[in-house]
Amino acid sequence: MYNITVFPGDGIGVEVAEQAVKIIRKLGEVHHLVFEIKEELLGGASLDKHGVPITPEALKLAQKSDAVFLGAVGGPKWDNVEASKRPEKALLALRKGLEVFANLRPAKMYPELIDNSPLKKEIVSGVDLLIVRELVGGIYFGTPRGIESLDGKGEKAFNSEVYTTFEVERIARKAFELARRRRRKVTSVDKANILESSQLWRKVVTQVHQEFKDITLDHRYVDDCAMQLVRNPKQFDVIVTTNLFGDILSDESAMLTGSIGMLPSASLGNHHALYEPVHGSAPDIAGKDRGNPLASILSAAMMMEYSFNLHELAFSVEKAVEAVLKEGYRTTDIYQEGTNKVSCSKMGDLVAEKVK
Helix then strand count (H, E) for the chain reads 12, 14
| Distance in Å, CB of 12 to ligand IPM, minimum | 14
Give me the helices (H) in the chain, please.
Answer: 12-31, 44-50, 56-64, 87-98, 121-124, 165-180, 196-209, 222-231, 243-256, 294-306, 311-326, 344-354
CB nearer ligand IPM, residue 11 or residue 352? 11
Q: Catalytic residue at 223?
A: yes
| Distance in Å, CB of 43 to ligand IPM, minimum | 10
Q: Catalytic residue at 289?
A: no
- Residue 128 binds which of ligand IPM, Mn ion, none (CB < 5-8 A, kind-dependent): none
| Distance in Å, CB of 71 to ligand IPM, minimum | 12
333 forms part of the interface with ligand IPM (CB under 6 A): no
Site string for ligand IPM, 55-94 (x = CB under 6 A): ---------------------------------x--x---
Sign of CA dihedral 325, 327, 333, 334: positive
Q: Catalytic residue at 140?
A: yes
- Residue 239 binds which of ligand IPM, Mn ion, none (CB < 5-8 A, kind-dependent): none
Considering only residues 239 to 278 of the shown chain, the ones binding ligand IPM according to CB under 6 A are: 247
CB nearer ligand IPM, residue 251 or residue 322? 251
The 10 Å Cβ neighbour count of residue 66 is: 16
Q: Catalytic residue at 251?
A: yes
Considering only residues 237 to 266 of the shown chain, the ones binding Mn ion according to CB under 5 A are: 247
Produce one character per residue of 90-119: b if its CB has 16 or more CB atoms within 10 Å, e if not. bbbbbbbbbebbbbbbbbbbbebbbebbeb
DSSP string, 302-330: HHHHHTT--HHHHHHHHHHHHHHHHTTEE
| Distance in Å, CB of 198 to ligand IPM, minimum | 19
Rg (CA), the chain: 20
Please report, as a single letter, which amino acid is at residue 242.
Answer: T
SS3 label, residue 227: helix
| Active-site position among 10, 190, 247, 333 | 247
CB nearer ligand IPM, residue 246 or residue 348? 246
The CA distance from 315 to 174, in Å, is: 22
Using CB under 5 A, list all residues that contact Mn ion.
247
Residues belonging to the active site:
140, 191, 223, 247, 251
Residues within the interface to ligand IPM (CB under 6 A): 88, 91, 247
